[in-house]
A and B are shown apart, each in its own frame.
Chain A
Amino acid sequence: MLSLLARRLAMSLLVLVIVPSLTFLFEALSPGNIAETLLGQNATAAQIRQLSRSFGLNRPLLWQYGHWLSGVLHGDLGTSYTTGQPVASMLSTRLPVTLSLAAGSMLVAIVIGLGLGLLSAVSGPRLRRLVDVLSVAGLAIPAFWLGINLVVLFAVKIPAFPATGYVPFASSPLQWLRSLVLPCLAIGVGLATLIAKQTRDQILTALDQDYVRSLRANGASESSVLLRHALRNASIPLITVVGVSFVGALTATVFLESVFVLPGLGSALSLAAQEHDLPTVEGISLYFTVMVVATNLIVDLAYGWLDPRAR
């Protein structure tokens, strides 16, 4: 287990280095110069030269990469091309928004998914079929489109929640919650159907095991068989699904932050990509990669914690 963890940790570090570096790789592959792209077609050669010099773009790409890496190690993610602000400080205010959104979505996904999955595992074939239908629908409906539909229903037709905008938790916990309900539902509902299907299948698999027969025969209560034993055994494969779902939720934040105009990392990433603001893109990619890698590591650790055989 320890060697596996060490290997995973090494791989995580590798991913952490590779992903933000890809911008430099893409730049190397790109035929054009980023300064040209930034300034547009009407720029003069002098303007391009001047911009290149001020961003350090006239240096070799490898030097730029080394410069960026050493900056990262000192907590400096560089300066935005478009705003001139330090990237790190800009992202630090945006991180909580994305984390709130992703965590809230997972809360929705796990509560609905686990509940529906358990319910359908113990109930008749009709509910089981419904879970199948829902899980296909959950895969098929794009979360951001579902989000717009939720806005139509619960912000425009019935003005129960704000259509757009974000209120920090510190200024008003209630408004913070209200601003997150619709986007979290939009992301969480689709993931919930995935978790529900997996929960149902894993619970049914667990209930089919010999130990469940022995437990029941010797008088263990049905609620203990289901909630203590079957759920515990099902949670081992389920934790992987939850990890995959969290990464899916992070992906969805990029689109949902755009729908709901939330000032998170995702909307900043799409804006920065549109404006070719490479330092910001690199910084956000580092943040996202850290979150994905951390999720994978937590799943690995949870595996060992949940499954005595894996310790």
Chain B
Amino acid sequence: MTGAITAEEPGQAALTAGCPVAERSLLRCFARQRMGVISAVYLAGSLAACLAAPVLAPYPPDAQDLNIPFAGPSAAHLLGTDELGRDVLSRLLYGGVLTFAGVGEAVAVALLLAVPIGMIAGYHGRRLDQILGRFADILLAMPIIVVLLMLYAIFAGSQTAAMIVLGILSSASLFRVVRGSTLPLRGTGYVISARVSGVSTGRILRRHILPGVAGPVLVNASVIAAVAVVLQVGMNFIGFGAQPPNPSWGGMISDAQQALSEHPWQIASPGLAATLTILAIVLLGDAMRDAFAAKWGLESPAARTAQPPPPAATEPSPEVSSPVTPGATGPPEPTRASALLSVEAASVWLSGGGGVLVTDQVTFSVEAGQAVGLLGESGAGKTMTALAILGLLPADGQISGGRCWFAGTDLFSLDRRQRARRRGRGIAYIGQEPARNLDPCFTVGAHLKEILRTRAGKSESRKALNRMVEEALAAVGIVDPASVAARYPHQLSGGMAQRASIAIALATRPRLLIADEPTTALDATVQAEILDLLCSLRKEQGLSVLLVTHDWGVAAGSCDRAVVMYAGQVVETGTVRDLTQDPLHPYTRALLDSVPRMDTAGPLATIAGAPPAPGQWGAGCRFQPRCPLATAECGHGPVHLAGPPGRASRCIHSEVG
């Protein structure tokens, strides 16, 4: 994973933990992690205080004063005294040395073992890697606590031995991290060129691989350190490691437990010392992870902050308002009254990345039995429009204006719950990648039964449901429905999965099917089969289809009307025939010219430049920067959709006949 995330879909663009690209030095990225800085300061401070215990501590660790057992905090004893009148603060400081030393030993051993071995395993691969991997598996499967106690049983009281063994056992997980981070680095250009030019393996590992694995290693080392503190304090608590009267945090908890009913607060100081240390280590690890993520431009969980609200309503609707009469040349431009679906000035707002409008007052409609193509490049707002109709915008998306009439209801006026209740009634959906649009854990039959049951109610018998499943699959041209029903998505070919998806969508008995790039992920021949299937289903069932596609070939072959979108706006609508034979908008023309054709020679036309990202649309015509017809006038102000009934274009140069 690198930071190669393009800003093509602005709503999904990565946020970088508030770390501006220009100043991505690791230290600065880390400095922005407030909890991490506090943790680092706390750890450094308490380590220094413990090391300086002989100077800082007000009393020697075993100085008893039997006159004042269990004293509360006072000026003489800041944290009070224990059962023998020993100063708790002094004992915490002296005991902390043991804790920090143990953590240091365990982490150092794990690092010394795992980093070189992990890099070698990842760099060399093959047999050596396999053997080391198995070895790590075995270490990982060992119960750490048991091994540590065995060690204590033989080497009585040697904490160093225990921590070294803990380091060895922990090195297995660290080994995996190092190896995993080395693998992708092995194939990078600079490593290959270093190898080709004869740089020694050791030098490549040190100079080129080590900096790349350092981040994950540090993060993982913090986990090992936290585990080391937990285990060490626990072992001290049950009587291993430091022997009385030598102080240790775990031993102090154990002493305090003896007087629990009379002096319960005695357990507080040593327990809190351990807890705060572990807390600081964990938070430091999290902060390092986020700092590395920010440096490499990956989104971190901490970066998902509050989103700005959408702006107030934009310009008043300038859309077509001419009375409509049926055209003579093709299917009529529908009105709200006659249309099955009528989208009016739909605007969708995404709050990610500072907030952008991704569709701007999109207006079109779909008549009963019609197939309408929604066309445009990726990022034009087609899919967002489709999702708005379905009421399935992403979490950061919302409808900031417009209406969507379907079966007498404005779907945009419904709240989340009402909209959810209406889903699966009248409008169905199939998605782009058929295999990913089926739940991998469920068979095709289970998918179908679930949808059938919501429609038919729970009263249907098992047998009847099975029959309905097979009928539904047969209806989409599947020859052996019983066998396909029993298969899981990963056992289906792309075409078969898309047929199954269509069967599931049709199980709702919809009047409108929204198909989002239904054939893009399929082979050309399968593509044609699926389009044929949709065509015949339209004829047989009177189904309306809204076909979202970037492909003129697909739209021309299977749609009656087309709606062309560019930069969030509808730029041209009309019958497919009008649009293909006599495009009014220069973008439509350019899009048509870029379709590969067998009958013309010469290079394929492309559209120079790239569509503007949402939020950078400008005041005038949005296609103007790429348009061959552009004049100064084009940039003056918003261009409105205009045209005769059933036909409209958003261009001041288009000659509307």
* CB of A296 closer than 8 Å to a CB of B: yes
* CB of A288 closer than 8 Å to a CB of B: yes
* CB of A152 closer than 8 Å to a CB of B: yes
Q: B residues within 8 A CB of A11?
A: 134, 137-138, 141
Q: A residues within 8 A CB of B425?
A: 219
A152 to B420, CA, bound (A): 49
Interface string of A90-108 (1 = CB under 8 A from B): 0000000000000000000
Interface string of A52-76 (1 = CB under 8 A from B): 0000000000000000000000000
* CB of B233 closer than 8 Å to a CB of A: yes
* CB of A178 closer than 8 Å to a CB of B: no
Nearest-neighbor residue (CB-CB) of A145 within chain B: B271
Q: Is the CB of A251 within 8 A of B145?
A: yes
Q: Which of B149, B274, B436, B490 has the most CB of A within 10 A?
A: B149
Given A11-B137, A142-B234, A274-B239, A281 contacting B274 (CB threshold 8 A): no
Q: A residues within 8 A CB of B137?
A: 11
* CB of B183 closer than 8 Å to a CB of A: no
A12 to B134, CA, bound (A): 11
Q: Is the CB of B144 within 8 A of A214?
A: no
Q: B residues within 8 A CB of A250?
A: 143, 145
Q: Is the CB of A276 within 8 A of B451?
A: no
Q: Which of A30, A209, A218, A285 has the most CB of B within 10 A?
A: A218
Interface string of B430-456 (1 = CB under 8 A from A): 111100111111100001001100110
Q: Is the CB of A152 within 8 A of B155?
A: no
Nearest-neighbor residue (CB-CB) of A149 within chain B: B267
Contact residues of A between 246 and 290, Cβ < 8 Å to B = 247, 250-251, 254-255, 258-259, 269-270, 272-274, 276-278, 281, 284-285, 288-289
* CB of A141 closer than 8 Å to a CB of B: yes
A192 to B618, CA, bound (A): 52
Q: B residues within 8 A CB of A157?
A: 264
Q: Is the CB of A218 within 8 A of B282?
A: no
Q: Among the listed A145, A211, A307, which residue makes an inter-chain contact with B267, where contact means beta carbons less than 8 Å apart?
A: A145
Q: Which of B150, B152, B428 has the most CB of A within 10 A?
A: B150
Q: A residues within 8 A CB of B260?
A: 148, 151-152, 156, 163
* CB of B569 closer than 8 Å to a CB of A: no
Given A19-B142, A140-B278, A274-B239, A229 contacting B153 (CB threshold 8 A): no
Q: B residues within 8 A CB of A227?
A: none
Q: Which of B201-209, B501-509, B546-554, B574-582 contacts A (4 or more CB under 8 A)?
A: B501-509
Contact residues of B between 109 and 150, Cβ < 8 Å to A = 134, 137-138, 141-147, 149-150
* CB of A15 closer than 8 Å to a CB of B: yes
Q: Is the CB of A309 within 8 A of B150?
A: no
Other 18 A-B pairs with CB < 8 A, given A273-B240, A308-B490:
A19-B142, A22-B147, A23-B153, A132-B301, A140-B276, A140-B278, A140-B282, A142-B274, A148-B260, A213-B429, A219-B455, A220-B450, A220-B454, A269-B146, A278-B153, A281-B153, A285-B149, A288-B146
Where the two chains meet, the residues of B that have a C-beta atom closer than 8 Å to any C-beta of A are 134, 137-138, 141-147, 149-156, 226, 230, 233-234, 237-240, 253, 256-257, 260-261, 264, 267, 271, 274-276, 278-279, 282-283, 286, 301, 304, 387, 390, 392, 420, 423-425, 427-433, 436-442, 447, 450-451, 454-455, 488, 490, 501, 504-505, 507-508, 514
The 9 closest A-B pairs by CB, nearest first: A219-B424, A217-B429, A140-B279, A273-B153, A145-B271, A140-B278, A308-B488, A210-B436, A214-B437
